[in-house]
Homo-oligomer: A and B are copies of this chain.
Amino acid sequence: MDHGEKEQKSYHKVVEYVNRQIRDRKMKAGDRLPAERELAEELNISRNSVREGLRALEIIGILESRQGSGNYIAMNFDGVMTGMLASMYVLKGITENQLTEYRFAIEWEAMHLAVLRVDEEKKEVIREAFRNLQDAKTEEERVRYDRAIHQTMVDASQNEFLITSYRALTDFMDGYIRSMRRRIIAGMQSKNQLEETHRLLVEGIIRGDLATGLQGIRGHFDYIEQYKDFHMEVETEINRLPEEKC
């Protein structure tokens, strides 16, 4: 029976200990934790229990274990997020449609922020990716530079949550359902259409023109099956708002 008193499992003490150290700013990225034996003594648990807790923290990217050296605070969140998306995808029976909706949500907001915060360096990166996309000869290349453009745009938003979420999402898409991006790109009726879509997106970023950038994103997602019909319908409704004021 559970009496309400928290009789936490031993390894939880480790997780809490580390989280507390981080939250209270006593440890930061790169810092080394006490040795496992010391932790075991301090927390009054066995070394094996300490290790179970440390292993969990390593998996979720907060820790990095180096044999012979020690356990260090780290920030490797991308992989975990990707893994979680993958598990959710299978276990919760999520559709590709939902992935696309999530991706759109991130890109839409990222574009708003990117036009305000993009710096010259990012502009050059995105310019070059676009040039490469134009010169791309194989589908393989097109996939790569398509991805680079979108990722750079999100990076330019300078919002760590958007960036990490987006990276995890695309990593998962490329890894688990690799066919998806291929199908999307192959679905473009011509190379020119793909370029036109990205031209708007890139121009929006470089000229700081939000409307053009959003047009590019909308165009890109309009090609994705099913979602296309839905979003066109939505946008007309949004745009009707100001008309009433005319």
- Docked pose: A81 CA to B82 CA in angstroms: 12
Task: Tell whether, in the assembled complex, residue B52 and residue A105 are in contact, meaning their CB atoms are under 8 Å apart.
Answer: no
Task: Tell whether, in the assembled complex, residue A105 and residue B162 are in contact, meaning their CB atoms are under 8 Å apart.
Answer: yes
Which one of A22, A85, A160 has the highest number of Cβ atoms from chain B below 10 Å of its Cβ? Answer: A160
Give the contact-size bracket for chain A: 35 or more
Task: Tell whether, in the assembled complex, residue A23 and residue B59 are in contact, meaning their CB atoms are under 8 Å apart.
Answer: no
Q: Which residues of the partner chain B approach A92 to less than 8 Å between Cβ atoms?
A: 75, 160
Task: Tell whether, in the assembled complex, residue B55 and residue A84 are in contact, meaning their CB atoms are under 8 Å apart.
Answer: no
Known: A15-B59, A106-B105, A211-B237. A23 touches B86 (CB 8 A): yes
Q: Which residues of the partner chain B approach A157 to less than 8 Å between Cβ atoms?
A: 101
Task: Tell whether, in the assembled complex, residue A109 and residue B98 are in contact, meaning their CB atoms are under 8 Å apart.
Answer: no
- Docked pose: A239 CA to B214 CA in angstroms: 12
Task: Tell whether, in the assembled complex, residue B88 and residue A77 are in contact, meaning their CB atoms are under 8 Å apart.
Answer: yes
Within 8 A of B (CB), among A86-143: 86-88, 90-92, 94, 98-99, 101-102, 104-106, 108-110, 112-113, 116
A52-B52, A210-B237, A242-B242 given; 12 more Cβ-contact pairs under 8 Å: A23-B176, A48-B48, A53-B55, A60-B83, A60-B87, A77-B87, A101-B109, A101-B113, A102-B159, A105-B106, A210-B238, A211-B240
Can you report 26 A-B residue pairs in the complex whose CB atoms are below 8 A from each other?
Answer: A19-B87, A23-B176, A25-B90, A28-B91, A56-B56, A56-B60, A60-B83, A62-B91, A75-B92, A77-B87, A80-B84, A88-B161, A92-B160, A94-B161, A98-B161, A99-B161, A101-B113, A101-B159, A102-B161, A102-B162, A105-B105, A105-B110, A210-B237, A239-B239, A239-B241, A242-B243
Interface residues of A (CB under 8 A from B): 11, 15, 19, 22-23, 25, 28-29, 48, 51-53, 55-62, 73, 75, 77, 80-81, 83-88, 90-92, 94, 98-99, 101-102, 104-106, 108-110, 112-113, 116, 157, 159-162, 164-165, 176, 210-211, 214, 230-231, 234, 237-243, 246
